[in-house]
A = this chain, B = another copy of it.
C-alpha cells in the first residue's frame, strides 16, 4: 500500500548548531566533514532522518552521538531546501540549535569527533548552507533569550552575575550596564543567590547564583 507513490521521495537530514559559552565568548561546535562530498570541509554535525524516526528524535540522536548528552535545550530553526544546497545529492535539511554547558562535554569525545569550539564571530566558511543555518539559529536564539531564561543552559549550575552578564553580552552582541543588569536580575526571583562564593575570578570573591527551574516553571512560565 502506498498512497503517495507517484511522488518523489528525498533525503532529509538534520543539522545541529551547538552553542556553548566559554571564556566570555559564544561558541559553536563544528568539525571537519568525514564523508564525501565535501570531505574535510568545516561543517555542522548532522545525520539523516531514519524511516521510523521523528525529526526531533533524529536531532536528539545526532546531538547525543556527538556529545553523549541528552535532555539538552533544543529548538528547531527551520528547513533548508534549495535543490542544490548539498553538492552531492538533493537533501532537505532541518536545522536545530542546542545549548550546552561546555563543561559537560567530555573532551575525549570532542577530540574523537574532531570537533572544535569556534567563536561565533570567527566562523570559517562552512559546508553547504551551514553558515546560513548558523546565522539564522543565532538570530532565533537571541530572540528567545530576550524573553525566556534559556541562557542558564550555557552556564554551570552555579554562576556569578558577571558570568551571566558576559553571556548576555556575548549573545546580544553588545555591552550591558552592570547596575541595570543586576537590577533586572534581582527582580527575577527564580535566580537565587547561594551560600557559595567563587574565588577563581576575583580576589574579593563573587556570590554564586543558581537558576531555580521549579520556581520558574511554577511562577513565571507563560
Contact = CB atoms under 8 A, between A and B. Distances in A.
Contact of A54 (B7, B36, B83): B83
Contact of A81 (B8, B37, B55, B81): B55
A51 B10 contact: yes
Interface string A29-63: 00000011100000000001111111110100000
A7 B11 CA distance: 7
Interface residues of A, number: 35
A78 interface: yes
A155 to B, nearest CB: 27
Contacts of A77: 78
A97 to B, nearest CB: 13
Contacts of A10: 9-12, 49, 51
Nearest to A52: B83
A49 B4 contact: no
A82 interface: yes
Nearest to A91: B4
A50 B2 CA distance: 17
A164 B94 CA distance: 36
Contacts of A12: 9-10, 12, 81, 92
Interface string A11-32: 1100000000000000000000
24 contacts: A4-B11, A4-B91, A7-B11, A7-B50, A8-B49, A8-B51, A10-B10, A10-B11, A10-B12, A10-B49, A12-B92, A49-B81, A49-B92, A51-B90, A53-B83, A54-B82, A54-B83, A56-B81, A56-B82, A76-B79, A77-B78, A78-B78, A78-B79, A81-B94
